[in-house]
Structure 1
Amino acid sequence: MKETSMNTHMGNITIDNEVIARYAGSVAMECFGIVGMAGINVKDGLVKLLKRDSMTRGINVAIQKNKLTLNFHVIVAYGVGILAVSDNLISNVKYKVEEFTGIEVEKINIFVEGVRVID
């Protein structure tokens, strides 16, 4: 279990990386043009849309020098501008995750793994 911890004047705070990934994933799902998180089968190289309960498998959280790096593997909606969707995702996730955790987000990497037509 990987954790992120920080020291405050009142004591030590430890946050499980899965908590950060789950929160970041829920914020990402609110962004226009994001269909969902992508799960990649390394053996076959296949990409599949993850269900809400396993969404964190499409998000990697790393911390170095008290700064977060988030990697998103996403599937975007057909017909939307990928750059606009990415900019929106980055700004929303950066703001809300920093507000939620109190830890600076240094970098957000977005890997577009597929495109889906929304019904």
Structure 2
Amino acid sequence: MEFNPVTWFEIYVDDINRAAHFYQQVFNSRLEPLGDPSDQSMIMMGFPSEMTKYGASGALVQMEGVPAGGNSTMVYFGCEDCAQEQSRIEGAGGKVFKPKFSIGEYGFIALVIDTEGNMIGLHSQN
């Protein structure tokens, strides 16, 4: 494979506004509407992206027939120090499932649950 295998992610949510507020507060960034605004059967809020930089971007998605939570896919967000983002989880309405811990030479991770019941990972080298 000549490229990284993951190029996009979607986190399904039940309340797009509540979920967007959570992610914007935790990561200190703005999400932007994506897709066709007249199609209310699928509402998307995209994470910031820069196509010339490393890593994949993605979106929060509220879609009829696709409930949030209970999935078996883990999305990890890159951080300078995942303890910083972890410290904002509860104030944003989420829960810390497993606080920052070492994964050896690969750095550190924290596992958290967003306002929609989705577990996500926070990863940093420090």
What range is the shorter-chain TM-score in? 0.3 to 0.5
In terms of fraction of residues, the more strand-rich structure is 1
- Normalised by the length of structure 2, the TM-score is 0.32
In terms of fraction of residues, the more helix-rich structure is 1
- Normalised by the length of structure 1, the TM-score is 0.33
